[in-house]
Amino acid sequence: MTEQNYWKIFPKMPKKVTIGDITIRDGFQHEEKFISTRAKKFYLEELIFAGCRYIEVTNLGNPFLMPQFEDAEELLTHLRSDQFKKRCKNKGINYDDICLTAITIREPAVERAIQLKQKGIGPDRILMMVSTEEQHHFANSGTTLPDYWKEAERCIKKASDAGIKMCGTVSTIWGSPIGGATDLKDAVEFTKRWLEIGAHDIEHADHDGSASAPDVYRYFSMILDEIPDPRLHIAHFHETKRVASASVLASLQAGIMNFEATLGGLGGQPANFLDDSPTKGTGDYYYDDPRYVGLICLEDTLVQIDEMGIEHGYDVDRILWLGKQMEKTIGRRLRSEAMINGRTLKEGHMKYARPGLAKLKKKFNEEPGQLLPKEWGAKAQLPEKLKAK
């Protein structure tokens, strides 16, 4: 007989996961209008109140390049305030369980994070990023891979001395929007290099939606064979072909327990236009149609994982409500289907029931709940030629 217990088929699949939210940073960085500081504070707070404990707050890079983040210090100051800590306590949230992350692609941003830490408002964790395909890496960082690795090594030491954790991101694992196909073995080696120079954890990123489920399963199996602690690894999937949910499932099956997502599937390459003015960002977009980029939806991913019976720590209904608010903030329809259609409710949606069924069953002398004719046998009898051999 075929094994039907999912966790016996995939014994490494976790019963509990962590889903970090990166809406305010990665989600908003692709928007071509400035999202107000007031709105950013609202969503940061509400995501934490809804269960998020790992949250990307902002980008500490030069705001001339990405003016969406010119309010970085104000956001961090707000989340470090006694008022916010008191609100967390009143809601039964242990403030020390919250990890605030800021993106620091280059060394000046790392030094800025350290200065903010010394002022008492800095992040708990920062992030630097390499791509296995060097053209993509150059577009994001402005320098070569060997030069960047040396910079990252310096920065990890500086950050560690300041009490800040460093996440090392490996990108273009399953392909590059510039250079095309890549080799999974390069990403495994880059992961080991990050850990060798002192990174706290690794974000494994599919930044252009290149991944397919079999290759995701293969890659994370390769990773966990060599670096078996699943707490070190975070899966980061972008959605350009509507297949990212399959990548999440394949990651789970391989044993990955940490994920990232955004409300409404927002996100993508930093915007090169903001409000009424062109801005630098990271240059021309990688895509013919920049509307169709973004990350996996937090709403849909939560519903998927929740209905698998995997623990996640979120108030799913609250997140679905936040998704509706986000559409108003952004001003357009976003990607979440769960936000529109809701969860699969065990009690059903009886408000849609057609009248008259009970009366018709009584007319036919059928019992309530009777699904088959009374004269039929208790169990179906398959024809011999269709039975399992």
Structural domains present in the chain: 6-341 (3.20.20.70), 357-386 (no CATH)
The pLDDT-based confidence of 283 (bands split at 50, 70, 90) is confident
pLDDT of residue 341: 87
Confidence (pLDDT) at 100:
98
pLDDT score, position 21: 98
- Give bridge partners of residue 18 from the DSSP assignment: 258
Instruction: Enumerate the β-bridge partners of residue 204.
Output: 170, 235
Q: State the Cα–Cα distance between residues 223 and 59, nearest whole angstrom.
A: 28
If pLDDT is split at 50, 70 and 90, which confidence band does 210 have? confident
Whole-number average pLDDT of the chain: 95
CB 258 within 8 A of CB 234: yes
CA angle 184, 185, 188 (to 5 degrees): 95
SS in 3 state form for 52-69? Answer: CCEEEEEECCCCCCCHHH
Percent of the chain exceeding pLDDT 70 equals 99
pLDDT at residue 287 tops 90: no
d(CA 299, CA 370): 37
Distance CA 143, CA 105 (A): 11
Sign of the Cα torsion 45, 299, 220, 243 reads negative
Q: Is the CB of residue 173 less than 8 Å from the CB of residue 187?
A: yes
Indicate whether 292 pLDDT > 80: no
Are 183 and 210 in contact, with CB atoms under 8 Å apart? no
What pLDDT, on the 0 to 100 scale, is given for residue 4? 87
pLDDT, tens digit, 9 for 90 and up, residues 318-352? 999 999 999 999 999 999 999 988 888 788 888 88
Residue 291 pLDDT > 80: no
Which segment of 6-20, 274-288, 297-311 scores lowest on mean pLDDT? 274-288
Rounded distance, CA 146 to CA 153, Å? 11
Q: Up-side HSE of residue 96: CA atoms within 13 Å toward CB?
A: 0
Segment 231-246 shows an average pLDDT of 93
Report pLDDT for 348. Answer: 80
pLDDT confidence tier of residue 144, bands split at 50, 70 and 90: very high
Q: What is the pLDDT of residue 388?
A: 85
Residue 59: pLDDT band (50, 70, 90) is: very high
Q: Which pLDDT score, from 0 to 100, does residue 293 have?
A: 83
- Say how many CA atoms lie within 13 Å of 192 toward its Cβ: 13
Please, which pLDDT band fits residue 288 given cuts at 50, 70 and 90?
confident
Mean pLDDT of 74-94: 98
Span 134-140, average pLDDT: 93
Closest CA to 58 of 82, 84, 80: 80
In this predicted structure, the answer to whether residue 205 has a pLDDT above a threshold of 90 is yes
Q: How confident is the model at residue 284 (pLDDT cuts 50, 70, 90)?
A: confident
- 126 forms beta bridges with 102, 166
Hey, is 206 helix, strand or coil?
strand
What lies within 8 Å, CB to CB, of 91 at 6+ separation is 49
DSSP string, 294-361: -B-BHHHHHHHHHHTT-B----HHHHHHHHHHHHHHHTS--S-SHHHH----TT--GGGPPTTHHHHH
For a pLDDT cut of 90, what percent of the chain falls above it? 85
By CB atoms closer than 10 A (0-12, 13-18, 19+), residue 52 is buried
